[in-house]
Amino acid sequence: MGVKLFDRKFGAEFVETLPASPGIYLFRDDEDRVLYVGKAVNLRKRLFGYRNASRRKAHRKMYKLVRVAAKLEVRELDSERDALLAENELIRSLRPPHNVDGAYSFLYPAIGISRRNEHDLFCFTTHPEMYTKLDFQWYGSFRSRHRAKEAFDMLIETLMLLAHAEPRSRLPPHPRPVGSRLVAFRRLDPELRSQIETFLAGKAEAPLAALAESLLEKPRARRDAERVQECLRCLRSFYETDLRKLHDALSSAGLAGTFVAQQERDALFIRSNGTRSTLEQPEAVREDPSRR
């Protein structure tokens, strides 16, 4: 039986010398550039998996990393939480080519609401810093661009049945980054606007019931009841998967407000919960990072 590829590169005794404790590991190329950062609850067990990786489909990613890497660095840490935080920071700052999960936090979107003159403005963007002149209250940021965009579009669709949406020519001067959307409404009920703010803040799902009651009064909404129900189901799902969890994470960290910066979002969830299960799979991995 031939010598394992892992052993030829990093030494036959390498894994046996590792601690059975939490930490991170970095695969590097021959110019010392980081190719991949991973975390482990048990470093010895995790790297043993890489040592035994084969060409089979289930092992394909591990085998490829062993094949392309020239060096393997291991850092022992005090806890799984510390390992998650260290992994998250390195992925965010270095963007290793073989990491995708969490590497593109700049694509995490936010939803904003602002009152300007007689208009209520609603905005979806990955660039909230570009809209400072419009005084938005921001909600987010959200890790799943797909879910956030779908929920925003559904919210706008229902509000169009309750208020007058202005044409683009009547919008205030504003930046136009790719992938962003700005909508203005006239005659939006102030009480309904307040309920939407409560909903987006993740404080309560109840405002959806008030929204549904308002829609029942509109003949257009009653004629397209099936579509309205689809919108409400989408918003209810977004509350459970994103809004409430963000509210709980902010509260757990002792932070007031409704917004966390893109680059701080994943670390907030790790600190508040200490486990990757709280981090949804980011839609960013399926997007071109240049599409901002």
Could you read off the pLDDT of 162-208 as tens digits, one per residue? Answer: 999 999 988 999 999 999 999 999 989 999 999 999 999 999 999 99
- The whole-number average pLDDT for the span 82-99 is 91
Beta bridge partners of 263: none
List the chain domain ranges.
5-94, 105-279
Per residue in 210-266, pLDDT (tens digit) is 899 889 888 888 888 999 999 999 999 999 999 999 999 999 999 989 999 999 999
Express the helix, strand and coil content of the chain in percent, nearest 5 each. 50, 15, 35
Fold of 5-94: GIY-YIG endonuclease (3.40.1440)
**Reported confidence tier of residue 271, pLDDT bands at 50, 70, 90:** confident
pLDDT of residue 123: 98
Residue 80 near residue 41 (C-beta atoms within 8 A): yes
CA dist., res. 165 & res. 120, Å (int): 10
What is the DSSP annotation of 261-280? -HHHHHHHHHHHH-SGGGSP
Chain segment 5-61, per-residue pLDDT in tens: 999 999 999 999 999 999 999 999 999 999 999 999 999 999 999 999 888 877 888
pLDDT (0 to 100) of residue 150: 97
Helices (H), the chain: 5-10, 43-51, 60-68, 80-94, 145-159, 190-200, 207-216, 219-223, 225-238, 244-252, 262-273
Under DSSP, the state recorded for 241 is: I
Indicate the average pLDDT of the chain: 89
